[in-house]
Chain A
Amino acid sequence: MNPLYAELQWLPRVPPEFSANLRALATSAGPLGREVQALALPALDLNQLTKLAKAMERARNEGKSLAPLTPFRLAVLSNSTIDMMVPALVATAARHGIALEVIQPSYDQVAQEALTPDSKVNSAKPDAVLFALDYRALPLKLSIGDEEAAAATVAGTMGYFQAMRNGIKSNCGALCIFQTIAPPAETLFGGLDRALPGTKRYLIDAVNREMAEAALQSGDVLLDVAGLAETVGLADWHNAQLWNMAKLPFSDEFFPLYADHVARTLAAIRGKSRKVLILDLDNTVWGGVIGDDGLEGIKIAQGDATGEAHLAVQRMALDLRQRGIVLAVCSKNTDEVAREPFEKHPEMLLRLDHIAVFNANWSDKATNIQAIAGELSLGLDALVFLDDNAAERGLVRQLLPQVAVPELPEEPANYARTLAAAGYFESVAFAAEDLKRAGFYQDNARRATLQKQVGGVEAYLASLDMTITFQPFDAMGRARIVQLINKSNQYNLTTRRYTDPEVVAAQSDREVFTLQVRLADIFGDNGMISVVICRPGEAGVWEIDTWLMSCRVLGRKVEHMVLHEILKHARAAGVHKLAGMYKPTDRNKLVVDHYAKLGFTKLSEEESGLTRWALLVEGAEPESAPMKVVSQGFAAAPERLPA
């Protein structure tokens, strides 16, 4: 059994004081979120996860808050016994910043729960439903060598999933999470099973492929349990004895691993995936120490075993960058010495223009990582820090607990795999914008330089030659809209998170005004950078339900232009007043004055810091910014009586 996966080796080991800290939770007044998350961080085994979950349950029962963990209600429909899994899920979710509540119907009641409108699951109105089904739950009838019958079996199985999905969608509208099916380890013919229609392996392959395609198209979420089981090995994954004795779906050895995969998926749904990979250099990106060994001495060449190990780290970093992960460097080195391999070493895959922020100096790494977060306008919880040095890892983990810092094995050949196994960059959807994102942040660094040269802000903005494009929500933009709604923390007035189906609902509701905003400039296309949802309030009033913006276009007066656009549509719809709300979180202080700056009048302020604002549409004249405005895709407003 590979301990990397079974023992979650990218996580720190459980400290001896775990039990004492767990007991301390009982006497803490709360909110307990941070303490619970710290307790959940190490590689807890099933017993420890169970104890932590029980402590969380007691705290909840005593009315203690788990803030700032993000609440999530998950219903689990399964054909196996998941009672032992539920506490592992709850505790592991805390590791990923989620306060999870699991709704668990009776054993093996999948269809009844999905299809009955007032079932336990449907009436609980969960945020998501996880269909935790394995091959034993499916009508996978053998039809050896019969292609037609095999196709019918696959279609029947997909029809079963579709029926469950439709049940959930029409009865409670929750997001559906489907698991791919881990095939049993046993074959019938042997290798031929893969090829021959109608064998179990053939049928499961086909079901998994169709399930994956259906998820991509429908906006459902896929949990690739088949991939996970393949990774750790089917023979270890399946445990016939435990199934027979207790109907456990797979080996208990992998409960913590499975729970981590569920939890990282839920975190991704809530926009908590990380966005930046910060690399140490010496003995991480290359073998050896550049300051001591020099350009010729460091190991980075093909054909050298150590060099190839570090090249694999570079390859993975580059691949991650290609899918939109921003790269940064944090190294204790003299700046020009650290840059030399990037500029001059012929075998280096990483080049300076791949790195958004390059911090090589002699200050401590925690300070440098904070500086990197600042330069990228991202929170610490968006960062991953990869360093071979255990002392540096420990320091960063202690001073900046929000930064993810994977443990690394002795052997550099396993660095890349360890980073991948940690799943920090787990995503549930892919937006075309992702491909460009790493570049956006780099362009931003160049924009900042230009700003320094140009002097005046107005002249700078004019020199950017910006085009802003307004559209209502549409299918093309939806993946990115959902991503922004779930990821934006700082420039976000209400931090309301919506799932894909909820965004579809807003899009198709004619009473709801939706806006997606894109911005292009001389450096390129920034892609979608702002999202607004206005819902009808009292007669003639639009309540601004959601207003968020990507921080990479801060200071460009985009928000002023967005207000212009909202006002235009409000007038056309006969709306006379906009009502706004600022709901404070620990991340959105940036926008505390958003409505004041835009000329709204403050109506009230609650003790929590929540403020309410209003703007009369008539006579509202927000500032303008020098940019070309494109407004497209809006239906003509229906005739309305003046309110």
Chain B
Amino acid sequence: MDEPQIYAELTRVFQDVFDEGPINVTPELSAQDVDGWDSLTHIRLILTVEKAFKIKFSTSEIGKLQNVGDLVALIKTRT
């Protein structure tokens, strides 16, 4: 899966998870930028990403994620 495809899918995932209007999913986007992106919503986000891309992350992989760019890089190694 190439990056534009991953970003397109992630945009759908963010819409499913967050109760906001459309979120512009960029590499720099992180928890500070989105209302309601708390630690539990973060878990829900990761679980939804896993389901959408049919992959599983390890606990340490999840722990290292800082922003969407990290997440996309991780997804790229798996798909």
A246 pairs with B43, CB closer than 8 A: yes
Q: What are the 10 closest A-B residue pairs judged by CB atoms, nearest first?
A: A47-B16, A246-B43, A252-B47, A83-B40, A54-B19, A84-B40, A47-B17, A241-B59, A51-B19, A245-B59
B-side contacts of A129, CB under 8 Å? none
Which A residue sits closest to B45, measured CB to CB? A47
A-side contacts of B19, CB under 8 Å? 50-51, 54
- Name A's B-contacting residues (CB within 8 A): 46-48, 50-51, 54, 81, 83-84, 241-242, 244-246, 248, 252
Q: Does B62 contact A (CB under 8 A)?
A: yes
Q: B2-24 interface mask toward A, CB cutoff 8 Å, 1 = contact, 0 = none?
A: 00000000000000110100000
Minimum C-beta distance from A205 to chain B (A): 31
B-side contacts of A84, CB under 8 Å? 40, 43-44
With A241-B59, A245-B59 already in contact, the answer to whether A50 and B44 are too (CB < 8 A) is: yes
B43 pairs with A245, CB closer than 8 A: yes
Q: Does B39 contact A (CB under 8 A)?
A: yes
B-side contacts of A241, CB under 8 Å? 59
Minimum C-beta distance from B25 to chain A (A): 16
B62 pairs with A246, CB closer than 8 A: no
B-side contacts of A50, CB under 8 Å? 19, 44
Q: State A242–B58 Cα separation when bound (angstroms).
A: 11
B43 pairs with A248, CB closer than 8 A: yes
B-side contacts of A242, CB under 8 Å? 43
Which B residue sits closest to A246, measured CB to CB? B43
A47 pairs with B40, CB closer than 8 A: no
Instruction: Decide if the interface of chain B is mainly helix, strand, loop or mixed.
Output: helix
With A47-B44, A50-B44, A84-B44 already in contact, the answer to whether A246 and B17 are too (CB < 8 A) is: no
Which A residue sits closest to B47, measured CB to CB? A252
Known A47-B48, A242-B43, A245-B62; further 11 A-B contacts with Cβ < 8 A: A46-B44, A47-B16, A50-B44, A54-B19, A83-B40, A84-B44, A241-B59, A244-B59, A246-B39, A246-B40, A248-B43
- Kindly identify, within residues 26 to 79 of chain B, every residue whose CB is under 8 Å from any CB belonging to chain A: 39-40, 43-44, 47-48, 59, 62
Q: Could you write out 11 A-B pairs with CB less than 8 Å apart? A: A46-B47, A47-B17, A47-B44, A50-B19, A81-B40, A84-B43, A84-B44, A245-B43, A246-B40, A248-B43, A252-B44
Minimum C-beta distance from B63 to chain A (A): 8
Q: State A248–B42 Cα separation when bound (angstroms).
A: 13
Q: State A274–B19 Cα separation when bound (angstroms).
A: 34
Which A residue sits closest to B56, measured CB to CB? A241
Which B residue sits closest to A244, measured CB to CB? B59
A-side contacts of B48, CB under 8 Å? 47
Find the residue from A47, A81, A242, A245 having the highest chain B CB count within 10 A: A47
Find the residue from B17, B40, B44, B47 having the highest chain A CB count within 10 A: B47
Minimum C-beta distance from A64 to chain B (A): 18
A-side contacts of B43, CB under 8 Å? 84, 242, 245-246, 248
B-side contacts of A81, CB under 8 Å? 40
Which B residue sits closest to A240, measured CB to CB? B59
A-side contacts of B44, CB under 8 Å? 46-47, 50, 84, 252
Q: State A46–B40 Cα separation when bound (angstroms).
A: 13
B-side contacts of A48, CB under 8 Å? 16
A-side contacts of B59, CB under 8 Å? 241, 244-245
Q: State A50–B48 Cα separation when bound (angstroms).
A: 13
Minimum C-beta distance from A59 to chain B (A): 14
Minimum C-beta distance from A471 to chain B (A): 52
Minimum C-beta distance from A149 to chain B (A): 35
Minimum C-beta distance from A455 to chain B (A): 65
B-side contacts of A246, CB under 8 Å? 39-40, 43
A-side contacts of B16, CB under 8 Å? 47-48
A-side contacts of B47, CB under 8 Å? 46, 252
A-side contacts of B39, CB under 8 Å? 246
B-side contacts of A245, CB under 8 Å? 43, 59, 62
Minimum C-beta distance from A203 to chain B (A): 29
Minimum C-beta distance from B38 to chain A (A): 9
Q: State A51–B21 Cα separation when bound (angstroms).
A: 12
Minimum C-beta distance from A176 to chain B (A): 27
Which B residue sits closest to A241, measured CB to CB? B59
Q: State A84–B44 Cα separation when bound (angstroms).
A: 8
B-side contacts of A244, CB under 8 Å? 59
Q: State A51–B47 Cα separation when bound (angstroms).
A: 16
Q: State A244–B58 Cα separation when bound (angstroms).
A: 12
B-side contacts of A248, CB under 8 Å? 43
